[in-house]
Structure 1
Amino acid sequence: MRLIGMRTPGDTTTYIGRLDGDDHVLPVTDVATFWSDTESWIAKATELTDGRRRLDSVEQRPAVPDSARVICIGLNYKAHAAEGSFQVPQFPTLFGRWTSSLTVSGTSAPVPAGEAGLDWEGEVAAYVGASLCETDPDTARAAVLGYSTFNDLTARKAQKLTAQWTLGKNGDRSGPMGPIVTVDEVGDLRDGLGVRTRVNGTLVQDGNTRDMIFDIGHVLALISETFTLNPGDVIATGTPEGVGYVRNPPWLLQPGDVVEVEIDRLGILTTPIVDAAARRGDY
């Protein structure tokens, strides 16, 4: 099953919708209600037949509640750590994104003023479907509702100003994500999904989730020792090697570029890059 966030014309409420083929969607319920009881709403979404709409008649939105924590894993592939001259970490490097930075496929991402460009980081996002508190990796892994494509677009100058990465990882519209694909259609990330990123059609990243240092179950379990994870929270699982800032010369995304993240079983996420003047206004 593939799920999106959606709004209908004239309505500011975001709903969860079940995709029906490539061109249609079936509204399920509002986002907050869906994440309050994912098991029941997944079952109801499976049986839905009424309310079918054309996909181009709705506005797609991130399928997460406003309360969601978006927790990103840095340096989660050995080759990516090595290309940036980092040591392989003993524990996962975790940092946060705000939900206000999230967007969907097709939404433009602006290069912030003062940045030489944006860097790409194609990765898999995992969506927590049940509360997790002081849990073990197997239980945590079983609580994942599904996965989506994600691009952790990064403002490298801002990221490197301090030891904390928050500023460079929260640029306006810098967190595009694709539809949620439920775990029954995806399987275990440890078995391997190809993660590929292209810039203007040129392949720049070609990794596989089997090469992650820390798998999703262990990361969720570790986080749950400190704070309770709630349904709707998102874990961005890290990017493979091939980012732009380490290249010689550095290669960063410029206005007019189009970056695509393609992940096996999850689909293709497309983001056009625009200049800083396009930061203002709704998307």
Structure 2
Amino acid sequence: MRLVGIERHGTNLVEVADLSDDGKVTVVASLAEFWSDPAGHIARGGTEVLSGDAHEVRFVPPVLPGARVICIGLNYLKHVAEGSYRSEPLPEVPTLFARWSTSLTVDGDFIPVPSEEDGLDWEGEVMAWVGADLVDSTSDDALAAVIGYSTFNDITARRAQKVTSQWILGKNADRSGPVGPLVPAAEVGDLRDGLRITTRVNGNTVQDARTDDMVYTVGDTLAYISRTFTVRRGDLLATGTPSGVGYSRTPPWLLHPGDEVEVEVDRLGTLRNTIVENSFRSKT
């Protein structure tokens, strides 16, 4: 099962659908209905097969308007070592920052370079989707609440990110967060078993790591967050990127208009996006 968000032609209603490898779209539920009982809808599957093919719908992230996108920074030791934080001790708890859900987009979309950036940087990673509310949760219960995972690219505007110690501006450029289909957790297994993450730019491999190299696990991180605020059904957790990002290279290597960036994760699939000029920012 590969769950995506769709908008049918001529409507603004977002629905959750199962997208098959051959492009067949099977509607599961409306977005609100799906997130009212995500585990139940995944178990039941879809019933309405749309006529034609996937070109008759517009794909969007299957994300609730009020969902929080919580991101882990510095979650792979080699990534810490390559960046500007290598001289600092590793924090005992995860470094967290936020994305707005409006920064998310989908496979195949164009990613514009903001006007004050020399280019954009790639950060291939895994996104976890939360399917139940968490308050003062244990690590095991928090992990059990994850209903699925997606391939994610935390594309970053480095100049905006590095101007201050706060990262939010550089992590929320327009359409800078492409996320792949949601694959149910039962089909993915435990990230601690080590799924391979590979990022490629114009066919050249720039990141190659495994998820068992994470410092802070999904369960531990969600449990930690839940001791401060309620993690809600529909929230997302971006689990961090491994080493190989562009800004830490000599000379720095950034994404420019015309470049294609791919992130591939075992069992989750490949996410492909093309970088475009700033003039495309207002276009969908």
The 2-side partners of 1:52 and 1:127 are apart by 25
Equivalent residue, structure 2, for 1:82: 81
Equivalent residue, structure 1, for 2:199: 197
> Are 1:20 and 2:10 an aligned pair?
no
Equivalent residue, structure 2, for 1:70: 69
Gaps of 5+ in 1: none
The 1-side partners of 2:170 and 2:91 are apart by 20
94-103 or 56-65, which deviates more: 56-65
Normalization by structure 1: what TM-score? 0.97
Structure 2 residue aligned with 1:235, among 223, 234, 237? 237
TM superposition shift of 1:51: 2.8
TM superposition shift of 1:280: 1.2
8 A Cα contact 2:24 2:49, kept in partner: no
TM superposition shift of 1:146: 0.3
8 A Cα contact 2:42 2:184, kept in partner: no
The 2-side partners of 1:37 and 1:109 are apart by 32
Structure 2 residue aligned with 1:145, among 147, 168, 177? 147
For the aligned residues, what is the CA RMSD? 1.0
Alignment of 1:82-231 (within 5 A): 82-86=81-85, 87=88, 88-231=90-233
TM superposition shift of 1:21: 3.4
The 1-side partners of 2:269 and 2:20 are apart by 15
| Residues matched between the structures, number | 280
* 1:113 aligned counterpart, secondary structure: coil
Amino acid aligned to 1:252: L
1:147-192 residue CA offsets vs partner (Å, 9 max, x unmatched): 0000000000000111100000000000000000001110000000
The 2-side partners of 1:179 and 1:231 are apart by 17
8 A Cα contact 2:28 2:47, kept in partner: no
* 2:119 aligned counterpart, secondary structure: coil
* 2:252 aligned counterpart, secondary structure: coil
* 1:66 aligned counterpart, secondary structure: coil
Equivalent residue, structure 1, for 2:49: 51
TM superposition shift of 1:277: 1.1
Equivalent residue, structure 2, for 1:271: 273
1:15-54 residue CA offsets vs partner (Å, 9 max, x unmatched): 0001233310111111111111112222221xx3433442
- Taking every aligned residue pair, what percent have the same amino acid on both sides? 56
Normalization by structure 2: what TM-score? 0.96
Gaps of 5+ in 2: none
174-183 or 12-21, which deviates more: 12-21
> Are 1:32 and 2:32 an aligned pair?
yes
Amino acid aligned to 2:140: D
1:215-269 residue CA offsets vs partner (Å, 9 max, x unmatched): 0000000000011111110000000000000100000000000000000000000
- Structure 1 segments of 4+ aligned residues over 3 angstroms from their partners: none
The 2-side partners of 1:15 and 1:49 are apart by 13
TM superposition shift of 1:213: 0.2
Equivalent residue, structure 1, for 2:8: 8
The 2-side partners of 1:41 and 1:29 are apart by 8
24-33 or 167-176, which deviates more: 24-33
84-93 or 123-132, which deviates more: 84-93
1:58-79 residue CA offsets vs partner (Å, 9 max, x unmatched): 1111011111100010000000
Amino acid aligned to 1:132: L
